[in-house]
Amino acid sequence: MVSFRDKLVHAPVAYTFRDVIIVPGFAEVEPSEVDLSTKVTKSFSIKVPIVSSPMDTVTEERMAITLARLGSLGVLHRNCSKERAIEMARNVKEASEVIDSVPTLSPNDSVARALELMREYDIDVLPVVDGDGRLLGTVIKVDVLLSLSEEPVASIVRRDIPILDTAADVSYAASLMRESKLTALPVVTKDGRYLGFIRAEMLSTREKGVEPSRGRDGRLLCAAAISPFDIDRARALDRYVDILVIDVAHFHNRNCINATKRLVKEVSADVVIGNIGTYKAAEDVVTGIERVDGLRVGISSGSICSTGEVTGAAAPTLFAVAEVADALKDYGLEIPVIADGGIRSAADAAKAFAVGAWCVMCGYLFAGCDESPSPVVRIGGKLYKYYRGMGSHAARVQRYILDRYSPVAKHVAEGIEALVPYRGPVSKVLREFVAALKAALGYAGAKSIRDMWEKARIAVITEQGAGEIRPHSVEPL
């Protein structure tokens, strides 16, 4: 047995995002020429390499539809009944590619807020939804302009505006627009949940440079989280989704591996396995399970995660990705690695790519977007959205997660509840993320994510240095 002293003295360093920098390299292409397309699983490609976490304050159908439309992917959460999980997946699959995500108002929002949003999004209609995301009606510009700014929008909401269902095709939407003389109509699911708007402009001109992520059926790409122990739900979802994402905090566990061995034989969708965080975990997964179509990698780096604090255990995302990517290389396997947790910016994503990630998963960045399921809250003039860990007390009391961090399996909370800054629409967040990521690859001298694996060099930076490479010594305006 190794000596305790040696265990300590020879301990590896688990570097993560804030510890390292990308060393600039010789660039042969301009950032605008960088290609960010990648694979999220063995069978499915995405153009934008950032996918949303399966969390109940991040990804329901609205987020999933928007991300797939914009060339990325949202993984539907599983903190709900099997029926609701299936309904979400069906809604994504039935959704038209022309649904545009328009921000919502709640009945108590003021007319002034409605006007602010109409100007910002250059739209004359806005949806009003209740606390469960169900459409109550529509507010139109003429009513907004003719009302007092402090009045609640509830007093001007129109309930007679035609509504489209998810499956409405382009020609039906166009004919309803002609008939109603409205240039945008809301789309809702069968049970009345608001999904977005179809706008007249989108029917005639396709958005430039946007290519949706698609499944084998040609419809929007759809992924849903599952437990490895709920074969029944996995089979039911398998009829609708392209990708099943195993959603377990610590997958490197005998029972999880044995259950997943059975599960992969029962479903035809690609299966992403996780979360794992070490070389050994990757080795045991790829040698023990017949089919592994993707790996979700990183333990304890999540912004709302308290696992490391509560248990002392962690495989921070950067460290974990390097470990897993090396194992795959040693086994000669090309399995997409999804870096999951702690990614706050394109800079973090670029560092993950430098050590072998294929794409990144993020809850934090998307929770603050219009398309996440939680409502906007205003505190002291600033706007926020509610975001919670799936192992937080509040999420666990919903009692649906019976294994990831449930009261049955564990007795402590491993996540927290929080507020994140409101960021506006996903399209804006993705646009900024893509631009920064292309710049990062440009500095590294890489023209693609695959190129990053080879070319990007990493250096460790001191705490002092980390302070120097941010704006410093000045009062930012």
Contact between 400 and 78 (Cβ < 8 Å): yes
Q: How far apart are CA 190 and CA 60, in angstroms?
A: 15
Of 18-26, 113-121, 235-243, 300-308, the window that binds ligand IMP (rule: CB under 6 A) is 300-308
For residue 302, state whether it binds ligand IMP (rule: CB under 6 A).
yes
At residue 366, what is the residue type?
F
DSSP result, 10-49 = TPPP---GGGEEEEP---SS-GGG-B--EESSSS-EESS-
For residue 277, state whether it binds ligand IMP (rule: CB under 6 A).
no
Could you tell me which residues come within 8 angstroms of residue 90 by beta carbon, excluding any fewer than 6 positions away? 240
For residue 307, state whether it binds ligand IMP (rule: CB under 6 A).
yes
For residue 16, state whether it binds ligand IMP (rule: CB under 6 A).
no
| Cβ at position 275, least distance to ligand IMP in Å | 6
Active-site position among 78, 90, 233, 404: 404
| Cβ at position 337, least distance to ligand IMP in Å | 14
Name which position in 304, 314, 354, 359 contacts ligand IMP (CB under 6 A).
Answer: 304
Nearer CB in complex with ligand IMP: 194/319: 319
Nearer CB in complex with ligand IMP: 157/420: 420
Among residues 356, 326, 333, 350, which one has the least CA distance to residue 42? 333
Of 112-120, 198-206, 299-307, 327-335, the window that binds ligand IMP (rule: CB under 6 A) is 299-307
How many helices (H) and strands (E) the chain has is answered by 18, 20
For residue 227, state whether it binds ligand IMP (rule: CB under 6 A).
no
Q: Which uninterrupted H or E stretch holds 297?
A: strand 294-297
| Cβ at position 341, least distance to ligand IMP in Å | 4
Contact between 114 and 126 (Cβ < 8 Å): yes
Orientation of helix 426-444 relative to helix 346-354, angle to 10°: 50
Among residues 38, 1, 139, which one has the least CA distance to residue 451? 38
| Cβ at position 168, least distance to ligand IMP in Å | 32
| Phi and psi, residue 66, nearest 5° | -60, -45
Nearer CB in complex with ligand IMP: 55/161: 55
Nearer CB in complex with ligand IMP: 80/115: 80
Nearer CB in complex with ligand IMP: 321/390: 390
| Cβ at position 57, least distance to ligand IMP in Å | 10
The reply to whether 359 belongs to the active site is no
Q: How far apart are CA 164 and CA 8, in angstroms?
A: 63
Q: How far apart are CA 191 and CA 88, in angstroms?
A: 11
Active-site position among 222, 256, 305, 362: 305
| Cβ at position 404, least distance to ligand IMP in Å | 8
Q: Does the bond joining 255 to the residue before it have cis omega, within 30 degrees of 0?
A: no
Name which position in 137, 152, 228, 415 contacts ligand IMP (CB under 6 A).
Answer: 415
Rounded to the nearest angstrom, the gap between the alpha carbon of residue 373 and the centroid of all alpha carbons in its chain is 12
3 to 13, 280, 313, 331: CA distances (angstroms): 19, 21, 21, 30
Q: How far apart are CA 223 and CA 151, in angstroms?
A: 41
Size of the site for ligand IMP (CB under 6 A): 23
152 to 108, 133, 374, 396, 465: CA distances (angstroms): 5, 18, 20, 35, 50
| Cβ at position 366, least distance to ligand IMP in Å | 8
Of 14-22, 81-89, 264-272, 338-346, the window that binds ligand IMP (rule: CB under 6 A) is 338-346
The reply to whether 113 belongs to the active site is no
- In sequence order, the β-bridge partners of residue 39 are 45
| Cβ at position 285, least distance to ligand IMP in Å | 16
Nearer CB in complex with ligand IMP: 54/442: 54
For residue 392, state whether it binds ligand IMP (rule: CB under 6 A).
yes
| Cβ at position 251, least distance to ligand IMP in Å | 11
Q: How far apart are CA 186 and CA 197, in angstroms?
A: 4
Q: Which residue is nearest to ligand IMP (CB)?
A: 415
Of 196-204, 301-309, 427-435, 457-465, the window that binds ligand IMP (rule: CB under 6 A) is 301-309
Q: Which uninterrupted H or E stretch holds 278?
A: none
Binding mask 340-379 toward ligand IMP (x if CB under 6 A, else -) reads xxxx-----------------xxxx---------------
Nearer CB in complex with ligand IMP: 183/253: 253
302 to 160, 385, 386: CA distances (angstroms): 44, 17, 15
For residue 100, state whether it binds ligand IMP (rule: CB under 6 A).
no
Among residues 390, 470, 350, 355, which one has the least CA distance to residue 34? 350
Strand, helix or coil for residue 393: helix
Nearer CB in complex with ligand IMP: 113/250: 250
Cβ–Cβ contacts within 10 Å for residue 128, how many?
25
Cβ–Cβ contacts within 10 Å for residue 155, how many?
12
Residues that bind ligand IMP (CB under 6 A): 53, 55, 275, 302-305, 307, 340-343, 361-364, 389-392, 405, 414-415
Q: Which residues are catalytic?
A: 305, 404
